[in-house]
Amino acid sequence: MTDSRRSTTTSALALCTLFLMAFAMRGPVTSVGPAADVVLRDFGLSYQAFGVLNALPVLAFGFFSFPAVTLSERIGMHKTIAAALGLLLLGTLCRVTESMVLLFAGTVFVGAGIAFLNVLVPVLLKAQAPDKAARAMGLYTVVVGLSGTIGTWTSAPLAHLADSHIAVMAVWLAFIVPALCLWPRVKTDDAAKAAAADKGGMVRLIKTGAAWAVILTMGMQSLTVYTTCAWLPTALTERGFTTSAAGLAVAFFLFCSLPGSLWLDAIIRRLGSLKRTAVLMTVMFLAGIACWQAGGWWVWSGCFLAGIPQGGMFTFALIVMAMKSHGPVQMAQISAVSQGVGYLAAGLGPWIFSVLYTYSGFFAASLSLVAAVLVWGIAALSASGPARVFR
């Protein structure tokens, strides 16, 4: 085999394995909400405890994003990603038990594993396709979104077919185990190791306006999607939807995010401005929330209107991150900073929603989403200012 063919085969294996990982990066989290009735019954959880359960993985995304780059310095990027997959496997196995302690512990393990992948997978994608970073990020967000869609779509049917939460949690082993088996054959460089060696790099990044634009955009996008996935099914069932229909509605919302991820680059070119694109995305999401409030068949229109910008803005944050960073070293740093701070803020969303939902009902809870999306729009607008790079 020639060197060029060997290089092509290696890159193809790396990309396939990375996208296989991406299939396990949202579904284990988004699948819990649609199966709320079964999870609440099996573990005897209150609404507040269920809100904490849904907040845990997002908070873990934030807490464990910061040490991802440092750990890569200590053991290398390849071993760090292997450890992330190991945490995903361990967490999934804990959650298929009937122990409440292991349920919560396993959820933290799953969140920690995904946090490492959140930070490092975009860096590896940029390294594998440096000339097509925007397209690679778009495809990556599509796969991540598809993972969330599969989770919400299959969750309620699996839970009721098996009459247990175990099937909902165990199905993700079909992606985690093959990725863990293939990963040892993938070669990576030590870009993250070099990033970690620059110990003051992340501190300097936090002081830049460009970094905070990405942080706010990433955080508010995450707050809205995880709060919606966790609580929209419960809100819809109490408004007359069956659990399967409610899960399907959230799956449709996430499915609509896929074209948003793919079309974002074309939308930016058509509108000729990042600022106009951000305004359009924010207005569409607000219209979607209004349709959810209206209930009935308007819910499906709301899922479409909110889903398109939900996918688009995640790609927006990743593209800005890739465009404004000086190569993979700085991208690893801004990825850790933006996702760490952003997800810590986003993790409060499901818990805040649970409190508002318990005492005020769906309308008051949805106001928190309105506030979040307005901040999200402001963050997007700030990111679309002068094309500064991280200094």
Rounded to an integer, the average pLDDT of 201-228 is 70
Does the pLDDT at position 31 exceed 80?
yes
Overall pTM > 0.85: no
Residue 342's pLDDT is what? Answer: 73
Least confident of 126-140, 148-162, 216-230, 295-309: 126-140
Does the pLDDT at position 387 exceed 50?
no
Q: Can you give the chain as a three-state secondary structure string?
A: CCHHHHHHHHHHHHHHHHHHHHCCCCHHHHCCHHHHHHHHHHHCCCHHHHHHHHHHHHHHHHHHHHHHHHHHHHHCHHHHHHHHHHHHHHHHHHHCCCCHHHHHHHHHHHHHHHHHHHHHHHHHHHHHCHHHHHHHHHHHHHHHHHHHHHHHHHHHHHHHHHCCCHHHHHCCHHHHHHHHHHHHHCCCCCHHHHHHHCCCHHHHHHCCHHHHHHHHHHHHHHHHHHHHHHHHHHHHHCCCCCHHHHHHHHHHHHHHHHHHHHHHHHHHHHHCCHHHHHHHHHHHHHHHHHHHHHCCCHHHHHHHHHHHHHHHHHHHHHHHHHHHCCHHHHHHHHHHHHHHHHHHHHCHHHHHHHHHHHHHCHHHHHHHHHHHHHHHHHHHHHHCCCCCCCC
pLDDT digits (tens, 9 = 90+) for 224-254: 777 777 778 877 887 788 877 887 888 888 8
pLDDT digits (tens, 9 = 90+) for 60-80: 888 898 888 888 878 888 889
Q: Which is higher by pLDDT, 230 or 375?
A: 230
Does the pLDDT at position 192 exceed 50?
no
- List the domain boundaries for the chain: 3-383
* Chosen CATH of 3-383 out of 1.10.10.10, 3.10.100.10, 3.40.190.10, 1.20.1250.20: 1.20.1250.20
Instruction: Tell me what percent of the residues of the chain surpass a pLDDT of 70.
Output: 77
Does the pLDDT at position 205 exceed 90?
no
Confidence of residue 108 (pLDDT cuts 50, 70, 90): very high
Confidence of residue 195 (pLDDT cuts 50, 70, 90): very low
Does the pLDDT at position 151 exceed 70?
yes
What average pLDDT does the chain have?
78
